[in-house]
Amino acid sequence: MSNSLSFNMENGYLEGLVRGFKNSLLNQSDYLNLTECETLSDLVLNIQNTDYGPLHNTEEKLDVESIEKCLRDRIVIEYNYIRENSMEPLSTFLEYMRYEHMIDNVALLMTGLINHRDIKKLMPMCHPLGLFDQLGAIEVASTIEELYNVILIDTPLSNFVAENLTRSAIHNTDVEIQRSFLFKAYMDDFYRFCKKVGGTTAEVMCKLLSFQADRRIIAITVNSLQINMESKLRLKLYPQCGTLCSVTRSALAICTEEDQVHTILNQSMSYADVLSRIERDTENLITLEDRLLTLEAKMHVESFLHQFHYGIFYSYLKLKELECRNIVWIAECIAQRQIDKINAYIPIPIH
């Protein structure tokens, strides 16, 4: 009772606010209206009839990129308001939610630096939640080592720079592998932080992070099949906080074909049903990653059934980002006249 009272005193207003935000997520009827749009103008007009309200400035060019930017800006406004009104340890928890976007942004700019791209043109492509002061210093970095000093060591991401990302190793390591090392360290550290917070937050968040770790393990395995990655390296990239046991991880690390991955996962009660639904998908529009995202969306909705915990902040951000992904997918299908694929978005079971 005392924990509930202290939670309400410190975070009750923000919890109520986020629960209200969650009720503004698009429902199935809204998605149906969007999928029936024939032009991007129709799409924006339909979105205007939801809680988003006016989405796009009529003076600006209307395309998928501008729609995505407007959607992301809405997410950032909501996040910043919650962050500015939070207290510890919620403030630190909310910062952890940004770190994965920071990692993605750094990986994007590192790739641009290696490929001699104009960094100033890449900066607008960075996710706004992953922006931090030192990121602007990327413009003065002309080598990977300078980037290492400016971006990885002297930033919030410094805690996630493992032994695998030394100055010498970073020259000879693919950017995606570097990103995976950072993400693994981030996930395991976030998991430990949530365990330390304890209570319902630990119960809800550890379950969510474990599932996300499993999803990442599966993605790393499938994506690395085409590049003949060594099993030892693949195993090093797997987050430790997942539910997949060490035997399953070791088996996945030596897979050479996607069918082998499916066979191993079929032995897991958590993922056997996901795979069986893929086998029934004759049109092959919904990938394994999409099926896992659908399952994760359901878990995020269920986290709102619990009271007095930080997990709803994490779940709301994930659901909002998934909603943004869905709208962008529908917009892309309209722009490219791929109407037959327009319904292949990830359903969010909010009602």
- The answer to whether residue 119 is domain-embedded is yes
- The answer to whether residue 251 is domain-embedded is no
Q: Each residue's pLDDT tens digit in the chain (351 positions)? A: 446 668 888 899 999 999 999 999 999 999 999 999 999 999 999 999 888 888 876 667 899 999 999 999 999 999 999 999 999 999 999 999 999 999 998 888 888 877 878 777 888 888 999 988 777 666 666 666 676 676 666 677 888 876 556 555 555 567 888 889 899 999 999 999 999 999 999 999 999 999 999 999 999 999 898 887 889 999 999 999 999 999 999 999 999 998 898 889 888 767 777 766 655 454 566 788 888 999 999 999 999 999 999 999 999 999 999 999 999 999 999 999 999 999 999 999 976
What is the token pair recorded at 287? 């990938």
With CA atoms as reference, report the closest residue to 68 among 341, 324, 339.
324
- The answer to whether residue 237 is domain-embedded is no
- The answer to whether residue 265 is domain-embedded is no
Domain membership of residue 167 as a residue range? 86-183
With CA atoms as reference, report the closest residue to 335 among 51, 39, 8.
39
Q: What is the DSSP letter of 164?
A: G
With CA atoms as reference, report the closest residue to 182 among 218, 145, 155.
155
Could you give the CA distance from residue 213 to residue 152 in angstroms, rounded to a whole number? 22
Q: What is the pTM of this model?
A: 0.92
- The answer to whether residue 307 is domain-embedded is no
- The answer to whether residue 324 is domain-embedded is no
- The answer to whether residue 152 is domain-embedded is yes
List own/partner pairs for 50-55 with CB under 8 A and 24 or more apart. 50/24, 50/26, 51/24
What are the phi and psi torsion angles at 62 (to 5°)?
Answer: -95, 110
Interhelix angle 90-114/175-197, nearest 10 degrees: 180
Q: What is the DSSP letter of 58?
A: T
Q: Can you tell me whether residue 154 is helix, strand or coil?
A: coil
- The answer to whether residue 73 is domain-embedded is no
Q: Which residue has the tokens 């975070």?
A: 11
What is the token pair recorded at 30? 């809204």
Q: Please count the structural domains in the chain.
A: 1
